[in-house]
Amino acid sequence: MYLAKANYKEENVICVLKEILTTIINDNTVIICIGTDRCIGDSLGPLVGTMLKNSDYKYPIYGTLDDPIHALNINESLNYIKNKHPEANFVAIDACLGEVNNIGNIQIREGPILPGKGVGKTLPKIGDYSIVAIVDEIDENSKFAFNNIRLSFIVQMSELIATSIILSS
C-alpha cells in the first residue's frame, strides 16, 4: 500500500515525503539501506545511508557505501540488526525497477521491500515500511542489467530521500 508517491522533479517532493515520514519515524526507528556501490543503479540505498551517517542522523542506520547491505551479506546483516534492535520499527530503502513512466518516482509504502526481485533474486523481505526509488525500467529480456543510469540521477534522488528523512525526525 502506497502512503506517498512523488517524482524527484516535483518542487514539493521533500514536503510530500516528509509529511508521511513524520508519521512513521519515531524513537524506535532503524533505517536499513539496501544496495551496492558496484552498480550505479543499485547504489541509491548505500548513498542514502552514507548521507544520513554524515549528517549525524540520530537513529541507527545500516547500509552505507563503506559497509553496504547487499545480496551476498543480507542474511547475516539482517540477523545482526534484528538481534540488536528486536523491537524496532524498520524502514528499508532500496532502488527499484519499474514501468518506464514511473522512473524517477519515490514511493513510501507500508510493508517490506523485496530486494533483488527486479533482477530475479529471492532475498528476505525487509522493513515495516519501505522507501523505494524507481531508477530504471524493468526489462524482462535482460533482468540482470540496469540500463544507462546516470550517477547524478541516483545522487539527486538519494539527496531528496535523505533530506526528507532528516527533516522528518
Kindly report, residue by residue over 24-73, the tens digit of the pLDDT: 999 999 999 999 999 999 999 999 999 999 999 999 999 999 999 998 99
For residue 142, name the pLDDT band (cuts at 50, 70, 90): low
* pLDDT at 143 exceeding the cut of 90: no
Q: Is residue 141 within 8 Å of 27, Cβ to Cβ? A: no
pTM (predicted TM-score): 0.93
Identify the helix (H) or strand (E) that includes residue 75.
Answer: helix 74-84
Per DSSP bridges, beta strands 29-33 and 89-98 are parallel
Asked if 130 and 113 touch (Cβ cutoff 8 Å), the reply is yes
Measured over all CA atoms, what is the biggest interatomic distance in the chain, rounded to whole angstroms?
44
119 — pLDDT class (breaks 50, 70, 90): low
- The grid coordinates of residue 73 equal 551479506
Look-up of cell digits 539501506: 33
Tell me the pLDDT band of 169, cut-offs 50, 70 and 90: confident
The parent domain of residue 53 ranges over 2-168
Residue 1, SS3 per DSSP:
coil
Q: What is the mean pLDDT of the chain?
A: 92
From residue 59, alpha-carbon distances to 113, 131, 163 in Å are 20, 16, 14
CATH code at position 35: 3.40.50.1450
The pLDDT value given to residue 20: 97
Domain count, the chain: 1
pLDDT for the residue 118: 62
Rounded Cα gap, residues 118 and 44, in angstroms: 15
